[in-house]
Structure 1
Amino acid sequence: MKRPIVFLILMCSIIFSNSSIAFGSGNDKIPILMYHHLKKSLNNNVVISPDNFENQIKTLKEAGYNSISIQQLFDYLNENKLLPQNPVLITFDDGYLSNYELAYPILKKYNMHAEIFVIVSQILENNEIKSNTNEIPKMTWEQLREMRDTFTIQSHTWNSHNKLVLGNGKLSGAVYGPSYIKGTLETKKMYEERVISDFIRSKEVIKAKLGYEPIAISYPFGIVSNEAIKLAEAAGFKLGFVINNKSIVKDDNPFTLSRITVNGNDTGIELLEKIKNS
């Protein structure tokens, strides 16, 4: 009888030791990193070279960080599901072709997951013609489908990644509030219909193209209002992201989750320090 008892004790010790390294305290901080575009030999606040990007990802991996998905984050925030130790959420905005050509092989090399918030109207099929050839090239739906093993795609609106003049004369993000459209100030109803139709359309197209429905939106320029949050929730989103350059905790508003802007000039060690101080 001793062997079964010893085996049971051993199994229990393994289970409890594994659960002790899981991440789940309400006070634990989760860094959410925000990238945009990669370009060789260029590093600034929104662009990073592939060499520097690899150095950052390699450093995160060697420091014991485990990349998570937005679905995992949602499950942690809403269903108390545990996350791996030292979780980090890696995100990209806009949907640049460089994410496919340069970031994808690096993330795959280090087995790190990431999310891309795409401006849905700017993602086309291979045989479609882009209307604006002066902008930085974006990925195609075929490329997004190819990257399923590493990326999940979320919404950066259908076509509201621009700024408009509000009723008070100030320039703000297009989803913020009633704005001047072709010289005429929208009514509250017109604003709500414009924004919610944009949000819903972005979700529907991603689902039609990729086979799953996005659960999160990053607001253009990180600008959001209480009205826009209500519209995002009404459209069916479960999480929303802004840019406050701090890590999140479990009690944060799920529709104003902060991200940390990663500077292309940051070394891997400097990025770790930035995360530590966030």
Structure 2
Amino acid sequence: MKKGIIILVITYFVLFSNFSPTKGYNDEKIPVLMYHHLEEKLDNNLVISRENFDNQMKSLKEEGYNTITAQQLYNYLIGGMQLPQKPVLITFDDGYLSNYEIAYPILKKYKMHAEIFVITSRILENTVDKPNSKEIPKMNWNQLREMKDYITIQSHTWDSHYKFKSSNGSTNTALYGPGYINNKLENQTEYIERVTNDFIQSRKIIKEKLGYEPIAITYPYGVISNEAINSVKAAGFKLGFVINNKSVIKGDNRFVLSRITVNGNDSGVELINKIKNSNL
């Protein structure tokens, strides 16, 4: 009799109890940090020094944050994956050589993952090729391959990181709408074709060089249009990032996910506070 009662009680709890998954799983607030270039001893709005980047990564580690990949974020947002507690996604834009020379060793030191969003037309084949002397040096494909243990490469477009004169006469980003190409104003169809081809090309070259297709894209200057978002989807991307300085939560539009700008002057403590304030 006792055995029968125990079975009934267990059955009741299995069928009718509200089991709570690991804390934060359904309502996790996920900070996505945005970095660019690193220098040995320079900290400003867009550049961070080796020392301060190390301090920031150390602070994240000590505070119990766990780095995740863009793929894990996507799987979580569509409901198929449970994330570790205090997840954080670390991202870099543009593909600067400093990401390989400075950031990568520090990430390895703390066993932390990051995603680097590269302008694929700017990535050289190897160190023998001459970089564009007018730009901050970018990485080459050999270096990108070398970092695969802690880095995933994503897209920052094929070659749309620029601004031009738009249809209303103002200066705008290449993704936002039609603009003047060779002194001729694009029509809407030409604009959509241009950005779609750019997105497709960026995914294609990463697949050819690294063996996998990127699933995420960051929009240059954080600016995008509804038409370009449709092109992002058509090209096969699953995630797109803007810059709104707030954390990502389930239910956000996957193609306009926010990132938090990390200032080179932020101390480790200030970065942690910035993350906490982005959750409010």
Shared fold, TM over 0.5:
yes
- SS of equivalent to 1:172: strand
| Residue 265 of structure 1: aligned partner | 265
Contact 2:35/2:46 (CA < 8 Å) preserved in 1?
yes
Deviations 1:42-88 (A, max 9, x none): 00111000100000000000100000000000000013310000000
Equivalent in the alignment of 2:14: none
In structure 2, distance between residues paired with 1:147 and 1:129 = 20
* Secondary structure of 2:78's aligned partner: helix
Q: Which residue of 1 aligns with 2:210?
A: 210
> Aligned AA for 1:233?
K
Equivalent position SS for 1:213: coil
Counterpart of 1:24?
A: 25
Deviations 1:169-225 (A, max 9, x none): 121110111111111110111111111111000000000000000001100010011
> How many residues end up aligned between the 2 structures?
259
| 1:183-202 aligned within 5 A | 183-202=183-202
Q: Take 2:191 and 2:52, find their aligned partners in 1: how far apart are those partners?
A: 41
**1:219 maps to which residue?**
219
TM-score by length of 2: 0.90
* 1: CA distance, partners of 2:75 / 2:28: 15
In structure 2, what is the equivalent of residue 236 of structure 1?
236
| Root mean square deviation, CA, Å | 1.2
Alpha-carbon deviations, 1:202-259, whole Å to 9, x = none? Answer: 0000000000000011000100111111110111111000011111111110000000
Partner of 1:38: 38
SS in structure 1 opposite 2:33?
Answer: strand
In 1, distance between residues paired with 2:134 and 2:217? 26
Write the letter of the residue equivalent to 2:40.
K
Q: Distance in 2 between matches of 1:119 and 1:46?
A: 17
Task: Answer with 1 or 2: which has the greater Rg.
Answer: 2
**1:23 touches 1:82 (CA, 8 Å); kept in 2?**
no
Segments of structure 1 that go 5 or more residues without pairing to the other structure are 1-18
- The aligned amino acid for 2:104 is Y
- 3-state SS of paired residue (2:83): coil
Q: Which amino acid aligns with 2:225?
A: S
Q: 2: distance between equivalents of 1:213 and 1:59?
A: 32
Distance of 2:213 and 2:23 partners within structure 1: 28
Partner of 1:11: none
| Equivalence map 1:101-116=2 (5 Å) | 101-116=101-116
Unaligned runs of 5+ in 2: 1-19
CA positional deviation for 1:22: 5.4
**2:164 counterpart of 1:173:** no
Given the two structures, how large is their TM-score scaled by the length of structure 1? 0.91
Q: Relative to structure 2, which stretch is displaced further, 132-141 or 101-110?
A: 132-141
Task: Tell me which residue corresponds to 1:12.
Answer: none
Structure 2 CA distance for aligned equivalents of residues 46 and 84 of structure 1: 29
